[in-house]
Amino acid sequence: MSKYQKIQIKQAVGVVGAGSFGLTIAGLLAENVEDILIYTRREESKAKMQAREGEYAQLSPKIRITTSLEEVARDCQLIFPVIPSKGFRSMMQQLGPLLNPQHFLIHATKGLDSSLAPKEGKIKPEHIKTMSQLIELESLACRVGCLSGPNLASEIQEHQPAATLIASKYTEVIKMGQAALRSSRFQVYGTHDILGAELAGALKNVVALAAGLLGGKGLGMNIWALLVTRGLSEMVHIGKAMGADVKAFLGVAGIGDLIATASSTKSRNYKAGVALAQGTPMQEIVGADGDMVEGFRTLEIINQLCQALEINSPIFEIVHRVVFKGMELERAIHFLMTYPYAVDVDFL
């Protein structure tokens, strides 16, 4: 057991989603929890994981596999949903009716949902939902949190030191998450600003995508640093317009995650930007890993929001033009380099 643990978790802990980060969460849980239940939709994936074949060879013997959400809801009080934002609401519509107020849900999805927006007309802030808001909409669960921070799955799987943030309105959710995940190699911070943590985690994917565009053109660290700092400023302004606190963007879920994701070739959003800059068609990138490149989906949603609320966000706007309108990257860089910024730090 972790020496940091304050409470003992005796029940099974569930992980909904058997992708790379879902398996990473399960591996972290295995250091503190005796029984972990992973949900996957596919019977073939279940069979491979049970047999510990290929990429699943190192799965802890503490991990069980199921294709039944009913089993997860029945056996587990604490559940970590770890699936792409595109399918999150659909998953919650299946899991939600099985939950009650005694369940704890801590999701690890860094994206946004706009499925409630009208097909025509302007999008409004109330149409955009974070994953915790979807959980509350689709279930009776109220003890909800999110996990966010510089958490590149491959590095955590290699047992490299890392940290994350659990955000929730409820202290008991934070403590439960810390008890489940914290170890000598994985630090877990806590905050009550769940909206800020979720928005920081989602918005930084757009800046990481833009950083990949620069990397794909072979540009250096000066312009990368400029992009990241100005991108952070735009993240803060968009977050404030949606009701978040500035502090959320200055911790591990904001600038910490931003630095890691916008500089690592292990980041899906960064790699997608590199591929675009080097001429790979958008459809090919989406087809290969589209559900997991959250930056594309977030960029579309936030571009509509910024237009509706008249938020000044030149980086988000120009990246949208490059990604979805075919604007040449050289023109985009020239636009940003000649943009009449008034001051450096304008959000404190």
Binding site listing = 17-22, 41-42, 56, 110, 149, 153, 204, 257, 267-269, 294
Tell me how far CA of residue 265 lies from CA of 218, 250, 260, in angstroms.
Answer: 13, 23, 10
- Among 193, 222, 232, which residue's Cα sits nearest to residue 313? 232
User: Which distant-in-sequence residues (6+ apart) come within 8 Å of 58 by Cβ?
Assistant: 27, 52
Tokens of 138: 């689709």
Work out the angle at residue 90's Cα, subtended by the Cα atoms of residues 89 and 91, and round it to the nearest 5 degrees.
Answer: 90
Euclidean distance between CA atoms 180 and 177, whole angstroms: 5
Tokens of 15: 């992980």
Euclidean distance between CA atoms 1 and 249, whole angstroms: 32
DSSP H/E element including 186: strand 186-191
SS3 for 23-78 is HHHHHHHCCCCCCEEEECCCHHHHHHHHHCCHHHCCCCCCEEEECCHHHHHHHEEE
Task: Return left, alpha or beta for 261; rule: phi > 0 is left, psi -120 to 50 is alpha, else beta.
Answer: alpha
Indicate the annotated binding residues for NAD(+): 17-22, 153, 268
Contact (Cβ atoms closer than 8 angstroms) between residue 292 and residue 268: yes
Euclidean distance between CA atoms 17 and 149, whole angstroms: 19
Indicate the annotated binding residues for NADPH: 20-21, 41-42, 56, 110, 153, 268, 294
Give the three-class secondary structure for 198. helix
**Residues noted as catalytic:** 204
Tokens of 338: 């000649």
Euclidean distance between CA atoms 149 and 166, whole angstroms: 9
Indicate the annotated binding residues for substrate: 110, 268-269
Euclidean distance between CA atoms 107 and 146, whole angstroms: 5
